[in-house]
């Protein structure tokens, strides 16, 4: 598979009234696309991480609501909207941490309300157009984010990345992985150390898969090896994505990101989080208000083993995310530029309209 084939892969797309998505739970050994038509199938795909990555979930949500709206029987707007909101709230319950899901659902909801006085077909076409716009905007944002991220790299750099923030998790190129692909295109010599990322192994299953297929030099390491690799001088930066960014710059990302940032700060290595503006929750003051999703216990004990690796009665704690304190970050890379501390001031300069809107809610 070529670099272009990887970076231009389409993870989520709409074909008529069918939502087609790559089943990420089967990678890297099986490539299978799912055809989804019902709300229950779409909810399960998000919850089970068949589709994952905050931007990809947002794209998925836009197409999902455009498709589901067409399944609502013809009626007056109030009856239609009641069912529409029920479906939207149902999808939103699948993943509480990734803000893109709720953000895009609210955006689609706004379009429905703005077209309440139009014909049914005009309303449905408006929802179709908005879902497509969400997808196209993400493609543009990922390219911009990747370009800003590339500016942080130089020949000979080693970078650690955690979880998966590449094309599979977005629309194209990715966020935190995007700079690696642009570096390959530009002939910048880098080496990526990929945390396997417990407990769901997105780094091992997805990130190392994408980078290897694209020809980007990478080495897979266990999460608890990061400190040694840094101490040995092999790492000059940490890049990871995000599922939600608070207004003060606290970042929720896959569990283990916070610990990685703490270790990097000990060694004086800069840590950058990457995400589009849709991942910034301007109404969330700090990371303390970000809900942390907990996953089933068997993901730790059984999921990737031939036999259980712990006794059935052993209790497990399986949070899917942690929050990296803003004080540990050197910058947050967005489609409008790199935000530097203090982040609330940087966000106000980069995203004045969103900040103003949040202040008036």
Q: Which residues are catalytic?
A: 243
Give the whole-angstrom CA distance, residue 245 versus residue 30: 33
Is residue 263 within 8 A of residue 224, CB to CB? The reply is: no
Distance (Å, rounded) from C-alpha 98 to C-alpha 56? 10
Token pair belonging to 271: 């840590």
For residues 135 and 59, what is the distance between their CA atoms, to the nearest angstrom? Answer: 6
Cβ neighbors of 114 (< 8 A, separation 6 or more) are 126
Alpha helices in 151-247 (DSSP H): 178-186, 202, 208-214, 226-231
- Coil, strand or helix: which one is 81? helix
Alpha carbons 298 and 77: distance in angstroms, whole number: 44
Contacts of 348 (CB under 8 A, 6+ apart): 355
Cα–Cα distance between 238 and 249 in angstroms, integer?
16
């Amino acid at each position: 598979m070529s670099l272009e084939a990887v970076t231009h892969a389409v993870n989520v797309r709409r074909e008529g009234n069918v939502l087609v998505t790559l089943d990420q739970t089967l990678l890297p050994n099986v490539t299978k696309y799912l055809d989804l038509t019902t709300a229950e199938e779409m909810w399960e795909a998000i919850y089970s991480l068949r589709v994952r990555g905050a931007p990809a979930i947002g794209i998925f949500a836009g197409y999902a609501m455009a498709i589901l709206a067409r399944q609502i029987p013809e009626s007056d707007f109030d009856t239609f909207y009641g069912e529409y909101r029920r479906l939207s709230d149902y999808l939103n319950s699948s993943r509480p941490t990734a803000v893109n899901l709720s953000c895009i659902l609210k955006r689609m909801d706004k379009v429905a309300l703005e077209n309440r006085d139009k014909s049914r077909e005009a309303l449905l076409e408006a929802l179709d157009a908005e879902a497509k716009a969400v997808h196209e905007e993400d493609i543009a944002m990922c390219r911009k984010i990747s370009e800003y991220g590339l500016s942080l790299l130089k020949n000979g750099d080693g970078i650690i990345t955690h979880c998966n923030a590449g094309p599979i998790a977005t629309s194209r190129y990715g966020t935190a992985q995007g700079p690696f692909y642009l570096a390959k295109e530009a002939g910048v010599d880098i080496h990526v150390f990929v945390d396997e990322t417990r407990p769901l192994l997105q780094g091992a299953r997805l990130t190392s898969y994408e980078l290897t297929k694209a020809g980007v030099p990478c080495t897979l390491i266990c999460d608890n090896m990061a400190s040694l690799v840094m101490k040995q001088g092999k790492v000059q930066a940490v890049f990871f994505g995000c599922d939600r960014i608070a207004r003060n710059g606290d970042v929720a990302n896959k569990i283990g990101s916070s610990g990685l940032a703490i270790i990097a700060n000990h060694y004086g290595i800069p840590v950058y989080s990457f995400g589009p503006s849709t991942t910034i929750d301007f109404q969330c003051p700090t990371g303390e208000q970000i809900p942390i999703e907990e996953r089933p216990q068997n993901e730790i004990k059984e999921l990737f083993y031939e036999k259980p690796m712990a006794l059935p009665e052993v209790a497990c704690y399986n949070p899917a995310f942690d929050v990296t304190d803003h004080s540990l970050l050197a910058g947050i890379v967005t489609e409008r530029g790199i935000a530097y501390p203090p982040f609330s001031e940087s966000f106000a300069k980069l995203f004045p309209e969103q900040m103003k809107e949040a202040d008036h809610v």
